[in-house]
């Protein structure tokens, strides 16, 4: 653009004003073109050479695929094994972001057996013709618990290696029971002990029956629970 402007007969000042560069830049670029035939900047070759090349990036990607929960320290240590030039954790972090990985909380999904997978499919098929109006009358309930972080790309949220499985009434932390519908949230009930059939029936009696009328104003709601042992005992 600079060369075209100058060859069109524009002065240095006019070229600078037209292209938005300083007069010094216009003069330097035009002189370099006249003397050396230079038509592009060589600045892309400046700066410190990247310590992790394409091969190294593939190696780091394989390390992530093998262990999604690895910390930066662990990834860096494993990468440096057998390498002639070691890298630091900052370089590891930069490389991971360059190839699309970020640290984020994993999605929690239930640990589902083959039998329960089949039951879920049957449920979906049985209700595939339900409308939004039908689903508005459903009150959902479940128990839940905790958190940590994994490495994954933006489009890998639901990849099996990025998920954390949970089991019914298992794990540490504080367990709570809750319910919700289209219209509103129900009570959130802390569970300070193992949830068995007796305790669950007590929760249903104390919280479901009093709340379902306000959660489903049409008075024709469905209380939905899963097949946890304490729910069907």
Residue 42 tokens, joined: 């060589």
CB 182, CB 136: distance < 8 Å: yes
Tens digit of each residue's pLDDT (9 = 90 or more) over 136-193: 888 888 877 554 567 888 888 788 888 777 655 444 456 788 888 888 888 888 887 7
Residue 45 tokens, joined: 């070759």
Alpha carbon of 161 to those of 86, 145, 150: distances in Å?
A: 28, 20, 10
Alpha carbon of 16 to those of 22, 23, 35, 177: distances in Å?
A: 6, 5, 20, 69
Tens digit of each residue's pLDDT (9 = 90 or more) over 36-78: 766 655 555 555 677 899 999 999 999 999 999 999 999 999 9
């Amino acid at each position: 653009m600079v060369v075209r402007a100058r060859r069109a007969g524009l002065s240095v000042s006019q070229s600078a004003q037209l292209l938005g560069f300083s007069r010094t830049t216009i003069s330097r670029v035009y002189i370099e073109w006249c003397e050396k035939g230079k038509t592009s900047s060589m600045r892309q070759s400046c700066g410190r050479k990247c310590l992790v090349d394409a091969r190294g990036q593939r190696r780091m990607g394989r390390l992530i695929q093998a262990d999604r929960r690895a910390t930066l320290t662990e990834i860096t240590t494993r990468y440096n094994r057998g390498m002639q030039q070691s890298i630091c954790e900052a370089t590891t972090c930069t490389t991971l972001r360059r190839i699309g990985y970020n640290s984020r909380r994993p999605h929690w999904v239930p640990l589902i057996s083959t039998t329960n997978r089949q039951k879920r499919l049957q449920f979906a098929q049985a209700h595939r013709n339900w409308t939004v109006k039908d689903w508005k009358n459903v009150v959902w309930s479940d128990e839940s618990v905790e958190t940590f972080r994994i490495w994954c790309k933006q489009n890998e949220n639901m990849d099996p290696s990025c998920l954390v499985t949970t089991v019914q009434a298992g794990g540490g932390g504080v367990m709570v029971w809750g319910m919700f519908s289209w219209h509103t949230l129900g009570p959130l009930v802390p569970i300070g002990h193992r949830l068995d059939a007796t305790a669950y029936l007590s929760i249903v009696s104390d919280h479901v029956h009093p709340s379902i009328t306000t959660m489903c104003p049409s008075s024709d709601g469905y209380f939905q629970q899963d097949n946890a042992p304490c729910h069907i005992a």
